[in-house]
Structure 1
Amino acid sequence: MPLRIKEVIKERGTTVQDLAERMGITRVGLSQHINGNPSVEVLERIASAIGCSVTELFEQPNKDVLSLTCPHCGKSITLKVE
């Protein structure tokens, strides 16, 4: 199952650079983890820094729900699609 790390980062209204800073690593180091085969420990650190569960990094988004990030305040907005 492919990882959705980049998608989740974008959905949460952050960047790889911001996430790397929160994790205390370089952007290049985080990119290597994202594009490589990260360990469970690294996935847990990424999920914690993003504020999501590890499973969200793997799961496909629910097709009945649309999540957006407000460009003004950065809050996540969830809409039910009918």
Structure 2
Amino acid sequence: MDIKRAIKANGLTVKEVAERMGITPVGLSQHINGNPSVEVLERIATAIGCNVGDFFAPQPTNTITCPHCGTVLEIKKKEA
């Protein structure tokens, strides 16, 4: 799940999304980094202006997303 990527992709910050939801940025971060309910995911999606499914966009198998900053990192095989 990549909520931070969806926030950035829509030109918003965590603070702006939190304000739209009527919660603190810390509260939103706890949801993002925890295990949010479907209801919370729907509220976040509404605040961002996207669909809940956008949080689950598939990534190529050779990349990972940094859970701290949202940067997509490419993983390369070590050549022998």
Q: Which TM-score applies when normalising by structure 2?
A: 0.71
Show the counterpart of 1:14.
12
Of 18, 25, 28, the match for 1:27:
25
Q: TM-score, normalised by structure 1?
A: 0.69
Runs of 4+ in 1 over 6 A off after TM superposition: none
More strand by share: 1
CA distance in 2, matches of 1:53, 1:12: 12
Count of residues in Structure 1 that have an aligned counterpart in Structure 2: 60
Aligned equivalent of 1:37, options 35, 45, 51: 35
- 1:51 Cα shift? 0.6
Identify which of structures 1 and 2 has the higher relative contact order when contacts are C-alpha pairs closer than 8 Å and 6+ apart.
1
Structure 1 unaligned spans of 5+: 63-82
Gaps of at least 5 residues in structure 2 are 61-80
Amino-acid identity (%): 67
